[in-house]
Amino acid sequence: MRHSYILVIIVSFFNTIIFSQTKSDLKTITKIEKSVITDFDIVIDSNYKSNQPITFQCLLKTDNGKQINASGYVAYVFLNMVGKNAKINSAGNLELDHTNIGIESSVNITFRFKKDTSITKTLNLPVNFKGSLCLDYRGEKGKDGEHGKNNNRKDTDPLSVFAIGGNGKNGENGGNGKNIYVCIEKRNIEKLGKDFLVITVLDSALNKTDIYYSDPLESNLIINISGGNGGNGGIGGRGAKGDLPPAGNGVPRIAEDGWYGGNGGNGGMGGDCGKISLKISSSAAFYKPFIEIVSIEGKGGKSGLPGRRGEVGDLEYMGKRFAAEKYHIRNPSDLYENPGKPGIDGNCNKGNILIIDN
């Protein structure tokens, strides 16, 4: 969907990124775990823009006078923030919460070392309101379904009906994007002595109003009203080991094939896009090319895989047990070991974006 000045795109700012640790990260994490940390310093990137994630270095000090650089993912593992003014994302970058900060020239932020919460560092960070301001009004992602339980029933237990693996649970549906009213205007903020864009967002369903500020000359605005993705279906549990039949008179006991695995869970439904009414005042008309609206339907969750068939049972002869080959193959059943169904994507209805010029 494309407007004359509002571009609807997918942007990486809103993707959920999970950073796995590198070998270097793992080495540093192990080193920190074995060290006694007494203090740390925070070094902020001098070219930071406060509207977007801020890179920083964390320099940990040990009891033997050494220093460990705990930056990036390692900082995410060992540091958190005190209060609601900021958080550390999984990439190890600092993100300010602009709904709490308001229009202040600087903000106090306190870092805390997780292993010893008495070790903290407070900085007074100037807020420049520059960079990409990303307003997240997406629907929540649905939770993944729990995996079915593996059946660990022993092959000598009675009642084979209890030998089936547990079914995977269904993934939860993704939430719908929010329905919001947004007003953008330019105002002179007297206490800071300059003009700012003031972005007011009203979420009527929550009866909540958020206010953001942005430098009109060195920033852009991204508003996301996409639907949340559905949760993935859980994997079916493994079936029990094959049954060992009753003992005969000197006759070898040959167990059957393993029991059926459970069914996979269904994927959750993707959420629908939200709705936005965007009013741009004449004072902020010059800012139109720098506004982006992201409106994407939530993707349906993936289907859960079926559970695995249980192991083939043993062979018993003369009081001793041996691994048996598959003499008795259990026939497939339509009732078990079925994959779940994938979730259906949400919808983005036409007319969910309304632009109001003033």
Residue ranges per domain, the chain? 14-128, 131-358
pTM: 0.80
User: Over the stretch 15-43, which tens digit does the pLDDT of each residue have?
Assistant: 444 455 788 999 999 999 999 999 999 99
DSSP 103-117: S-SEEEEEEEETTST
CA distances from 73 to 36, 37, 55, 76, 280 (A): 20, 18, 11, 5, 39
User: Over the stretch 180-207, which tens digit does the pLDDT of each residue have?
Assistant: 999 999 999 988 889 999 999 999 888 9
> What parts of the chain have a pLDDT lower than 70?
1-20, 154-161, 244-255, 317, 319, 322-329, 358
Number of residues written out for the chain:
358
Question: What is the rounded CA–CA span in Å between residue 186 and residue 180?
Answer: 20
Q: Which class is domain 14-128?
A: mainly beta
DSSP 34-86: TS-EEEEEEEE-TT--TTS-B-EEEEEEETTS-EEE--THHHHHHEEEESSSE
Query: Three-state DSSP class for 149?
Result: coil
User: Over the stretch 265-310, which tens digit does the pLDDT of each residue have?
Assistant: 999 999 999 999 999 999 999 999 999 999 999 999 999 999 998 8
Q: Which residues contact 153 (CB under 8 A, 6 or more apart)?
A: 162, 163, 240, 241
At residue 325, the pLDDT reads 62
User: What single DSSP character describes residue 20?
Assistant: P
